[in-house]
Structure 1
Amino acid sequence: MCGIAGILRFDQAPVDAGVLAAMARTLAHRGPDDHGFWQAPGVGFAHTRLSIIDLSGSRQPMQSADGRWVITFNGEIFNYRALRASLRYPFRTDGDTEVILAGVSRHGLGWIENLVGQFAFALHDMSLGTTHLVRDRLGVLPLYYTTTPRQLVFGSEIKAVLASATAQPGVDLLSLDAYLSGRSVPSPDTLFEGIKKLPPAHRATITREGTVRLTRYWQPPAADARGQWTTSAAVDAVDAAVTAAVDSALVADVPVGAYLSGGVDSSLIVAKIAALRPDRRVQTFAAGFGNPATDELPWARRVSEHVGTDHHEVHVDARDFESLWPELTWHRDAPISEPADIAVYRLAQTAGQSVRVVLSGEGGDELFAGYPKYRAARAVSAVTALPAGLRARGVSALEHRLPAALGRARIALRAAGADTRAEQYRTWFAPFTQQERRSLLGSLPTRALSLGTTGSGRTGNHDVIREMLLADLDGWLPDNLLERGDRMSMAASLELRPPLLDHRLVDLAFRLPSSVKVRGGTTKWVLKEVARRSLPAEVVDRRKVGFRVPLGDWFRSGLRDSMWDRLTGADSFVAQTLDRTAVRALLERHDSGRFNEENRIWTLMCLEVWHETFFGTHSSARTIQTQRD
């Protein structure tokens, strides 16, 4: 993968080459192998390259053979060889970048729907003076932009956009409610005022005069007719699709490894790699936290021994969090959304010593209903038949009485008390309920939240599991998990590929009935049945744990002083912006030891560290960049 950036001047004035170079420098970690620039009247592109395919060629930005199209491209096109064979074009390279130019040159912009892979790119049409920004279907790779009356600026990361500005934007207060709802801000918004995120499966067309038009080019299909799938046919189809997706994701001219948590998704991917490439031992990588109650390292070792991989481990502790927090916030351009972000970075550092590409298991839960919430979905949905006011009062009366040991019951109770179905779906992952957010935000303005943009894929018979999956596909997956995966891996100059998000597998998953996803109380049933063909039963059937970090203990010990100082201090953004009394009450509840408020405290701490990093005077983004330069 790579870093891309560019400037479009609506007055057709020359683009400042020094500004383009400054933008590219902020993306050096995304592309340490090469960099390039291209300029024409009113437009300039920059590119930093991590060489994965056609290592000695395919320099960017790249212009088509007829001179009409220019591209700066981030990503990998897994079916580029098959596409190349179908195109009559005077190819000059052996890479995937030129295949995009060739296809668009011969067949027009709609041809991009043939691409299989992960990508974010800009295409400039010299003939019409228009520029197209394109992001892959699931949002694996990022793309940001901002507009003024004079220009549009875009980049793979927000810091590249910031590098073009003479004045730094402020905090988008309208997005604080969304952040407190899900620890990330759904596209097209960000926490930076005026900086937008191109939504997944969209392209933006920018005219010479500055008009911006967004077009959605893909969405999940409707479910197949009832009774069309038998359980055995569903398992066979998913098995074949997973195999094809993993095979596609292995396309590279450099070594490829895999993350291995010991869970079903990553274990299945590793088993598939080993079966597809029996002549090579798979390099696998796992992270642990030194806590037997949450560590999954023994399970990862079990799978490694079963498959026969060369296995590597890294251990993460509280010191990693304190020392890496500001730097990784700079890489994220946003608050660190999950405690596992820091562990994923340390994992990427370790993997980068052996390989340049890793496969990961993101997407399995969001496609095949893997989270515990899907098991409780129908019961919680049924509660919404009660009046909202009655539900809210009941939840408020019960929730704070539940001890930390009943954390999952507490989450289900909070979801049942949500006002609307959209709010209910978000509440499963929300650190703060709608009522709590109102208390924290006071009179601050908010932006309305919706179910998302894939509404046309919903069924008429109200399949609540499918609706939850679509909601996660719209928000939680791209804005949290995939953003984390991209930033933490690219911070270590490592390419991350999630094969379960091959859009052909996604299409199949949404055509399948929910009855093969949650079956007999078992979540992710159909994918587990596929995994059972390659993995030991104890790996497939064990209880889902997830990438757990012992934050609750750390906030009462090694990180306690930092927590109180950052969230209640005189210069604290959280204390100045949110309700100070509510924040202090939250910390005191956690200190008591009777309740575990780690998720809420983490959410506020990450917001504070983000503000320090980009707007503070002690650990500013400019200082971090200077240190890296």
Structure 2
Amino acid sequence: MAGIRRFDGQPVDELDLRAMMRVLAHRGPDGEGLVVRGPVGFAHTRLSIIDLAGSPQPMGTPGGRHLLTFNGEIFNYRELRRRSDHDFRTDGDTEVVLATVARHGPRGAGEFVGQFAFAHHDFSADRTWLVRDRVGVLPLYYYVDGEQLVFASEIKALLEVLGDKVRLDRDQVRGYLRSRAVHAPATLFAGIAKVPPGHVVEVSGRGEVVVTPYWRLPSPEDVLDCSPAEAVDLVEETLRSAVDASLVADVPVGAYLSGGVDSSLIVALADAARRRADSAEPVSTFSAEFGDPRFDETEYSTLVSEVLGTDHHRVLIRPEDFRGSWEHLTWHRDAPVSEPADIAVAQLATAARQHVKVVLSGEGSDELFAGYPKYRYASATALANRLPARARSTGARVLERALPANRAKLRIAVRALSAERRTRMEDWFAPFTDYEIDALLGTSHPRAARSLAHRDPIDLMARLDFDTWLPDNLLERGDRMSMASSLELRPPFLDHRLVELAYRLPSSVKVREGQTKWVLKQVARRHLPGRIVDRPKVGFRVPLDTWFRGELQELARDLLRGPGSFVESLMDPAVVAAILEDHARGRRDEEIRIWTLLSLEMWGRRFFVGSPATVG
């Protein structure tokens, strides 16, 4: 979806809207439409999932007061329809959204169960609202200046209208190096913002912008008084409801299946829903293989598929797939491709799209239920404060350098513990520490302090991950890599009802007796073989450490050290060279840092042609 609102009263140029639609065609190959009414123009490209023959967009109310363009799915649209006195003309969820916001305003989004982003214009009030779902599953970007508001589902569509108005936001490069993503509302493009999850952006006819939340996580003090057994029952019941809701569609729905607990449990519950509906069609499942025994989960995904009787498809990912698709996927991402797994996910999506239009995935489980290994060490971060800051930082640097190359996870922990308390909880996923970023950029820029007045370190860490890592990294990546193949991704763990429950559960049922994600694993034991539930967490990993010493070593050196390097125009070449050399010689495992720099390089070349003169 896309749109333009002019503040000078001049009519929107239809050609601009059509250019934006062309760029967004992969998000909606099944149809397109636009409406221009003087200074307001909305456009839409459609991926038909519900009410395949109806629900054309943009959609307006009969009297012409309200106009809507909407991306996503409202899973409870039938219930909302039954409760409404609106005279419906279509059978889909789009008109339910229109009727709800026409009656209740944009905060009517609080009625929706699903994933969505939409723009709503009220001609009588002369107001435009941009609204994004609670968790941030679907994207929405905008640009406002004295002349116009321009918005779209992807940044590249904005660039079609803004042209050379947009420059690199150098201040956000530091944030990218720290997080492999840029946190809302910022982006790497100066002037272009993203609507934060669970927020409404209101733009007046004079271009005044007000951003307000319509949803928040439960308060840290709002903890359920429940036994571990009761917590397991609550999670199972709510997750089953979330999976059932995510299957609402008029097209086939499949699922990713890595063989880990999260995806396997989603598939098991989807299969149970299929059986309750007396469907003879098995669930279609999809998994990736990398040809590396360290990350090969084929044994487990095959086991789950055989137990549940799914129609399983395996996709082999090779180093040459990275060379061939990296630049193309950078264009789709609108940002550096922040994780090596993204290219594998894109290959998986391409394969899945040959069979289904929608896939379920396991995103969100680790944030909701404390699944990452780092959660075991959350309490240790408080103990680190007993050491003087200088001694802690210096000692951690020495220890980190002394660790062998194969102790990557321990190195991450040591680096995070060396940070100041206000940043420590956010630094576990950081490819570069603040002092390393200072060395790369040749400048020092103190970080803004974030209030951490919170007694439970596990819950605090989970909330920080939910606010930043999840929407700005995991969900952005998932949306772009799936939509590159016109495939809709649905993460049932991020149903807001389950999210609210998870953040009210005591941490003692999440990390219990040293086991992460305890409560969810107890649910999984009711549906999956013990071999799946009890096996060590692998994660969706790509063997980049060996590839950067083999098939991709020359590519990395040529891009980062070659003539016209975008990264070297921003950073100290000697520091970049040292990172490449340390990895090539096996002194350190620098795969994530090399990937972070290479992705920035590919993005800079794609959007700024690698010339310092083009980046402001």
Q: TM-score, normalised by structure 1?
A: 0.95
Q: Is the aligned partner of 1:48 residue 2:45?
A: yes
Write out aligned runs for 1:60-71 (5 A).
Answer: 60-71=57-68
How far is the alpha carbon of 1:442 from its aligned partner? 1.0
CA distance in 1, matches of 2:130, 2:95: 17
What letter matches 1:257 in structure 2? G
Q: Secondary structure of the residue that 1:166 maps to in structure 2?
A: helix
Q: Which residue of structure 1 lines up, in the alignment, with residue 251 of structure 2?
A: 254
What letter matches 1:443 in structure 2? T
How far is the alpha carbon of 1:65 from its aligned partner? 2.9
Q: Is the aligned partner of 1:581 residue 2:574?
A: yes
What letter matches 1:434 in structure 2? D
Write out aligned runs for 1:258-269 (5 A).
Answer: 258-269=255-266
How far is the alpha carbon of 1:312 from its aligned partner? 0.3
Q: Is the aligned partner of 1:285 residue 2:286?
A: yes
Distance 1:108 1:226, change over 3 A: closer
Q: Which residue of structure 2 lines up, in the alignment, with residue 359 of structure 1?
A: 360
Q: Secondary structure of the residue that 2:379 maps to in structure 1?
A: helix
How far is the alpha carbon of 1:488 from its aligned partner? 0.5
Between stretches 215-224 and 192-201, larger displacement belongs to 215-224
How far is the alpha carbon of 1:109 from its aligned partner? 3.1
State whether residues 200 and 211 of structure 2, in contact with CA within 8 Å, keep that contact through their aligned partners in structure 1.
yes
Q: Secondary structure of the residue that 1:410 maps to in structure 2?
A: helix
Distance 1:583 1:147, change over 3 A: same
CA distance in 2, matches of 1:166, 1:5: 16
State whether residues 259 and 266 of structure 1, in contact with CA within 8 Å, keep that contact through their aligned partners in structure 2.
yes
Q: State which of 538, 554, 562 in structure 1 corresponds to 2:531.
A: 538
What letter matches 1:470 in structure 2? R
Q: State which of 142, 157, 175 in structure 2 corresponds to 1:160.
A: 157
How far is the alpha carbon of 1:406 from its aligned partner? 1.5
How far is the alpha carbon of 1:462 from its aligned partner? 1.1
Q: Is the aligned partner of 1:128 residue 2:141?
A: no
Q: Which residue of structure 2 lines up, in the alignment, with residue 209 of structure 1?
A: 206
How far is the alpha carbon of 1:425 from its aligned partner? 1.7
How far is the alpha carbon of 1:227 from its aligned partner? 7.4
Q: Which residue of structure 2 lines up, in the alignment, with residue 550 of structure 1?
A: 543
Q: Which residue of structure 2 lines up, in the alignment, with residue 622 of structure 1?
A: none
Q: Is the aligned partner of 1:180 residue 2:177?
A: yes
Q: Is the aligned partner of 1:425 residue 2:437?
A: no
Q: Which residue of structure 2 lines up, in the alignment, with residue 625 of structure 1?
A: none
State whether residues 106 and 131 of structure 2, in contact with CA within 8 Å, keep that contact through their aligned partners in structure 1.
no
Q: State which of 80, 101, 105 in structure 2 corresponds to 1:104.
A: 101
Q: Secondary structure of the residue that 1:427 maps to in structure 2?
A: coil
Distance 1:224 1:246, change over 3 A: farther
Q: Deviations over 1:404-436 (max 9, x none)?
A: 221111111111100233x21221100001110
Q: Secondary structure of the residue that 2:549 maps to in structure 1?
A: coil
Q: Secondary structure of the residue that 2:244 maps to in structure 1?
A: helix
CA distance in 2, matches of 1:282, 1:381: 45
Q: Is the aligned partner of 1:16 residue 2:13?
A: yes
Identity of paired residues, percent?
Answer: 56
What letter matches 1:198 in structure 2? V
Q: State which of 71, 74, 91 in structure 2 corresponds to 1:74.
A: 71
Structure 2, gaps ≥5 residues long: 612-616
How far is the alpha carbon of 1:493 from its aligned partner? 0.4
What letter matches 1:415 in structure 2? A
Q: State which of 238, 242, 246 in structure 2 corresponds to 1:241.
A: 238
CA distance in 1, matches of 2:236, 2:220: 19
State whether residues 380 and 412 of structure 1, in contact with CA within 8 Å, keep that contact through their aligned partners in structure 2.
no
Q: Deviations over 1:459-485 (max 9, x none)?
A: x66101111111001110011110111
Q: Secondary structure of the residue that 1:390 maps to in structure 2?
A: helix
State whether residues 362 and 498 of structure 1, in contact with CA within 8 Å, keep that contact through their aligned partners in structure 2.
yes
State whether residues 256 and 286 of structure 2, in contact with CA within 8 Å, keep that contact through their aligned partners in structure 1.
yes
Between stretches 291-300 and 533-542, larger displacement belongs to 291-300
CA-based RMSD of the aligned residues comes to: 1.5
Q: TM-score, normalised by structure 2?
A: 0.97
State whether residues 224 and 512 of structure 1, in contact with CA within 8 Å, keep that contact through their aligned partners in structure 2.
no
How far is the alpha carbon of 1:242 from its aligned partner? 0.3
Between stretches 235-244 and 394-403, larger displacement belongs to 394-403
How far is the alpha carbon of 1:562 from its aligned partner? 1.3
CA distance in 2, matches of 1:119, 1:450: 32
How far is the alpha carbon of 1:441 from its aligned partner? 1.2
Q: Deviations over 1:552-571 (max 9, x none)?
A: 11111111111111111221
Q: Which residue of structure 2 lines up, in the alignment, with residue 25 of structure 1?
A: 22
Q: Deviations over 1:74-127 (max 9, x none)?
A: 000000000000000110000001001112223333322111100000000011
CA distance in 2, matches of 1:447, 1:498: 36
> What is the number of residues matched between the two proteins?
608
State whether residues 439 and 579 of structure 1, in contact with CA within 8 Å, keep that contact through their aligned partners in structure 2.
yes
Distance 1:225 1:85, change over 3 A: closer
CA distance in 2, matches of 1:462, 1:441: 35
Q: Is the aligned partner of 1:604 residue 2:588?
A: no
Q: Is the aligned partner of 1:407 residue 2:404?
A: no
Q: Deviations over 1:467-517 (max 9, x none)?
A: 111100111001111011100000000000001000000000001000000
How far is the alpha carbon of 1:450 from its aligned partner? 5.4
Q: Secondary structure of the residue that 2:216 maps to in structure 1?
A: coil
Q: Secondary structure of the residue that 2:255 maps to in structure 1?
A: strand
Q: State which of 146, 150, 154 in structure 1 corresponds to 2:147.
A: 150
Q: Secondary structure of the residue that 1:165 maps to in structure 2?
A: helix
What letter matches 2:541 in structure 1? R
CA distance in 1, matches of 2:222, 2:119: 39
How far is the alpha carbon of 1:226 from its aligned partner? 6.3
State whether residues 36 and 59 of structure 1, in contact with CA within 8 Å, keep that contact through their aligned partners in structure 2.
yes
Distance 1:447 1:342, change over 3 A: farther
Q: Deviations over 1:13-33 (max 9, x none)?
A: 100100110011000000000
What letter matches 1:544 in structure 2? K
Write out aligned runs for 1:146-545 (5 A).
Answer: 146-167=143-164, 169-223=166-220, 228-278=225-275, 279=279, 280-421=281-422, 423-443=423-443, 446=445, 448-449=447-448, 451=450, 462-545=455-538
State whether residues 564 and 610 of structure 2, in contact with CA within 8 Å, keep that contact through their aligned partners in structure 1.
no
Distance 1:545 1:557, change over 3 A: same
CA distance in 2, matches of 1:181, 1:17: 40
How far is the alpha carbon of 1:617 from its aligned partner? 7.2
Q: Secondary structure of the residue that 1:193 maps to in structure 2?
A: coil
CA distance in 2, matches of 1:225, 1:113: 20
How far is the alpha carbon of 1:447 from its aligned partner? 8.0
CA distance in 2, matches of 1:420, 1:400: 22
Q: Which residue of structure 2 lines up, in the alignment, with residue 621 of structure 1?
A: none
CA distance in 2, matches of 1:461, 1:470: 11
CA distance in 2, matches of 1:205, 1:106: 17
CA distance in 2, matches of 1:71, 1:299: 45
State whether residues 384 and 416 of structure 1, in contact with CA within 8 Å, keep that contact through their aligned partners in structure 2.
no
Distance 1:40 1:362, change over 3 A: same
Structure 1, gaps ≥5 residues long: 619-629
Q: Which residue of structure 2 lines up, in the alignment, with residue 595 of structure 1?
A: 588
Q: Is the aligned partner of 1:561 residue 2:554?
A: yes
State whether residues 223 and 513 of structure 1, in contact with CA within 8 Å, keep that contact through their aligned partners in structure 2.
no
State whether residues 261 and 296 of structure 1, in contact with CA within 8 Å, keep that contact through their aligned partners in structure 2.
yes
How far is the alpha carbon of 1:389 from its aligned partner? 1.3
What letter matches 2:534 in structure 1? D
Between stretches 400-409 and 369-378, larger displacement belongs to 400-409
CA distance in 2, matches of 1:466, 1:432: 24
What letter matches 1:283 in structure 2? S
Q: Secondary structure of the residue that 2:371 maps to in structure 1?
A: coil
CA distance in 2, matches of 1:163, 1:380: 46
